[in-house]
Structure 1
């Protein structure tokens, strides 16, 4: 089935002529169908159910700030407000939009904003900020600049938050040079950069491997900007971002120096997140001794190692086939009252399968349930992959079928591993049947790995023509998925 979604931004302007009443029931019903079902503790609203104003007041004053609401509830209250007479003030809609944005419902906010503007209700500075933030988070920074034009047109003065959103949007799209230029213009127009501005820009520089520029910005924060005279002291987040960038670039020693000689000496107290970053850096550099020493120092400094600390060390030991050491840490964290998570178990399972300890892996899944951690799609994918790589393909097939019968959502990774195992053990017909059932006629979207496995299997079976057809089919699907990922171009203009 092909779903066609019409962009809410087909018109050249987000502000259209006011209408007497907006009928958004169709949109809400559509969004309702794509929303996951509510939990037992959540209230399910019907569009036919009468609503009291006190219920709306409670929703805006209590549920929105706490985030304790579903998307369906938010859409229902929006529908109520937009069809009320007199129309609710913009502040009520802003509260709703802000709450949705915090829960990362960016596309919904943009669509609802368009509908709100069709009523003729003029947006305020805060609502425009929310819209700008949402556009930046879905990599539509150019449209955010259009919103900036609307802000200026309405006579609002951009502040640090305005520029922070735009800088973040440029960094998300890896347009680092443009973000640096905007940073300079921000200072030129007399808008004072804050620590969030610097941290956002430093984060973008680190992610694009411009560590030296990030360090210069850090020095500017410490010493002050000589041109503007602005001093914005770095905080623990600033240092953590740069330490992480240095570690991922393989410059662990520089990260250590920054941690010990700059951060601590300047009175910035590291938090557990900072320790985790440096520990991970040591592990990436195979300096497990230093990682363990830093781990031990956490307790001496008065901190309590968290699950991430343990997972970092467990991951290194498992990757290096020292699973007994990893198990010792696992037992230690439980005895210390630190609950293992899905990452802990997925890492240990990978370690067991790496050293062909299939029985231990089976036992671990049982132990996982005893600790109230339940296997997810990723855990089952690892298990299926491990069984196939350890000569237990039929057991993996049986597990996959059991999961399907029980309507458990299995990921494409698990199916790809199973198809690979079946192909390598001469069961190509079974592999092809699975691909047809769950990919061509089902709801699992195959990736390049899935196609490569099957094409390789077809070639080995001498079916070169079919392999070539599948390759062409894959290329068409990849091009289509790229076009769908781009999505409809959002054009946001303000009156």
Structure 2
């Protein structure tokens, strides 16, 4: 997709009618109103319920409260991300004959943008123009952000060209939105080009614009360009803030360059930028990545000394790192410290610890954690079930695994292929091959995305039972379905055939494996 970044136009030749491609039929806006009016808001917090009730009581007050009070409530609901509720109340307000003002119409535009209903957002924009209001930078920036949220960055840039041609002035926030939109759709080069245009006189560039581009460059593995951008930023007297330092530290940690990451931390402190919880959590995670457990523990203990309070996220990183380093008892001690500090672990913390116990073969310790999760109203998620079912199957507790699988399904959590593969593998290893075949065939008929791992598990189960003909048949079916065997699949077949003294067939598979480039 070509983007009109090189065609940013500033002529005044556009008339207001040029907005028409973006404006929907006003009747469509009405139909959306009716849709939301027929579905009353469903607030999920008592606080929201109270706010909605207060708003509706205002309809019956005499005199009717000033319009700005309605706007304050709609604004608070929007900040709580109850966009549909806001639109429903807005419609009820208009049906009562209470005329919206410019601020409320901007709020409604924002709601439609977050709901990815850009047609209706531009309908409200048309209404603003019709009522004679002069759109301000907030109105225009909100619409551009909505288009970017919908990955319609090209439309956002074209809209920018049109409003500038009409004589509207945009600000740093507006251009930051466009830069972010470009980076989000993988057009970092275009974002850099836009930054150059901005710095040529449109408005002042700022740290947000640079941080967005720097983050995108690191994610695209363009490290040199990212560091060049940091230097350019500093040369423009824009000093990096903690977010930019965190981006650099994170990129270095992911590459295992812990020494360099610590150097960035030193530079950061010398520049009088205070590291935050994200900085330390990233460094801890990086140290665990290269198995420097003691360094991670030192960072965790040291950050409180400089006034950074550990949170659930940082504890979860520590617990995860300790579990992966097979220090489950230390992880459990840290988990208990969370309780002593009255910190409430989240589902990630519990799942991490459960996974650690499962991989250590300590399944008996898991059930207390699950009971605690229920007591704290923390729901088991798909990842938690993955860990548990895998551990039960691995330890030959198939009946318990199926019982847990049944519970998961009853709670409306749909299994992924990892769980299906785990169960099939467990059945094969647990002497329940026929059940495994039935399950596999059922998944095949229902169109589940069986991958090479799924087929390999089943082929391995058949080979272990000496059912080589059935394994050949499944191999053929696998290739017919467009799923190509990998090195492990070949090795299973070759080992089985050599074990049966079917050397010619084994060598045929071996030659095919070499031909496909699976043996180096």
Return the TM-score normalized by structure 2.
Answer: 0.73
**Residue correspondence of structure 1 range 229-244 to structure 2 within 5 A:** 231-244=237-250
Partner of 2:31: 23
Cα 1:299–1:135 change in 2 (3 A) is same
Partner of 1:183: 195
Partner of 2:348: 343
Q: What is the deviation of 1:77? A: 2.8
Among candidates 52, 58, 65, match of residue 76 of structure 2: 65
Tell me the C-alpha RMSD between the 2 structures. 3.6
Q: Which structure dedicates a bigger proportion of its chain to helix?
A: 2
Q: What is the deviation of 1:347? A: 0.9
CA distance in 2, matches of 1:51, 1:430: 63
Q: How many residues align?
A: 438
Partner of 2:124: 116
CA distance in 2, matches of 1:379, 1:400: 12
Partner of 1:192: 204
Per-residue CA distance 1:238-272 (angstroms, 9 max, x = gap): 21122112212332211100101x11111111112
Cα 1:171–1:390 change in 2 (3 A) is farther
Q: What is the deviation of 1:342? A: 1.2
Partner of 1:274: 279
1:130 aligns with 2:142: yes
Given that residues 78 and 93 in structure 1 are in contact (C-alpha distance below 8 angstroms), is that contact kept between their aligned partners in structure 2? no
CA distance in 2, matches of 1:458, 1:273: 44
CA distance in 2, matches of 1:346, 1:413: 19
Unaligned runs of 5+ in 1: 1-10, 226-230, 441-445, 473-495
Per-residue CA distance 1:206-259 (angstroms, 9 max, x = gap): 21122222223323333x32xxxxx21221122112211221233221110010
Q: What is the deviation of 1:193? A: 0.7
Per-residue CA distance 1:52-81 (angstroms, 9 max, x = gap): 275986553035235346344123134346
Bigger Cα Rg: 2
CA distance in 1, matches of 2:90, 2:403: 47
Greater relative CO (CA pairs within 8 A, separation 6+): 1
Q: What is the deviation of 1:310? A: 1.9
CA distance in 2, matches of 1:37, 1:190: 43
Unaligned runs of 5+ in 2: 1-18, 463-469, 484-520
Q: What is the deviation of 1:204? A: 1.2
Return the TM-score normalized by structure 1.
Answer: 0.76
Given that residues 368 and 374 in structure 1 are in contact (C-alpha distance below 8 angstroms), is that contact kept between their aligned partners in structure 2? yes
**Residue correspondence of structure 1 range 440-479 to structure 2 within 5 A:** 448=449, 450-456=450-456, 460=462, 461-462=470-471, 464=474, 467=478, 471=482
CA distance in 2, matches of 1:250, 1:400: 38
CA distance in 1, matches of 2:67, 2:456: 59
Partner of 1:107: 116
Partner of 1:14: 22
Q: What is the deviation of 1:410? A: 3.5
